Amino acid sequence: MTKYITNPIIKGFNPDPSICRVGDDYYIVTSTFEWFPGYQIHHSRDLRNWQLVGRPLNRVSQLDMRGVPDSCGVWAPCLTYNDGTFYLLYTNVRSFKGDWKDMPNYLVTTNDILGEWSEPIYMNSSGFDGSLFHDDDSRCWLLNMLMDHRKGRFFGGIVMQEYDKEQQKLVGEVHYLFEGTEHGRTEGPHLYKRNGYYYLMTAEGGTGYEHCMTLARSRSITGPYDVHPENPFITSKYNPEAYLQKTGHGDLVQVQNGDWYATFLTGRPLTERGRCITGRETAIERVEWREDDWLYLACGGRAARRVVEAPDLPDHPFDAPKQRTDFDSDEIDLNFQSLRVPFSSDWVSQTQRKGYLRVVGRDSLSSCFEQSLVARRVQNHATEASTCVEFEPETFQQMAGLVCYYNTSHYYYLHITGDDFGRRAKGESVRKFLNITCCDSGRVSDALDQPIDITGADQVYLRADFNGAELQFYYALSEGDWQPVGSVLDGSILSDDYVEVSSGIFKPCFTGAFYGLCCQDLSGQRKHADFSFFEYLEHHGAED
Active-site positions read 16, 187
3-class state of residue 232 by DSSP? coil
What's the rounded Cα separation, in Å, for the pair 244 and 264?
Answer: 11
Among left, alpha and beta (phi > 0; psi -120 to 50; other), residue 56 is: alpha
What's the rounded Cα separation, in Å, for the pair 441 and 436?
Answer: 16
Chain centroid to CA 305: 22
Q: Which helix (H) or strand (E) holds 378?
A: none
310-320 burial code (b ≥16 CB/10 A, e <16) = bbebeebeeee
Chain centroid to CA 186: 21
Amino acid at 224: P
Can you count the helices (H) and strands (E) in the chain? 2, 43
What's the rounded Cα separation, in Å, for the pair 492 and 388?
Answer: 25
What's the rounded Cα separation, in Å, for the pair 242 and 283?
Answer: 13
DSSP letter at 156 equals E
What's the rounded Cα separation, in Å, for the pair 475 and 414?
Answer: 9
Closest C-alpha among 463, 466, 489, 474 to residue 544: 466
Sheet holding 25-30, edge to edge: 18-22, 25-30, 40-44, 51-54
Closest C-alpha among 229, 226, 221 to residue 196: 221
CB 52 within 8 A of CB 40: yes
CB 359 within 8 A of CB 532: no
What's the rounded Cα separation, in Å, for the pair 385 and 395?
Answer: 27
Q: Which helix (H) or strand (E) holds 230?
A: none
3-class state of residue 377 by DSSP? strand
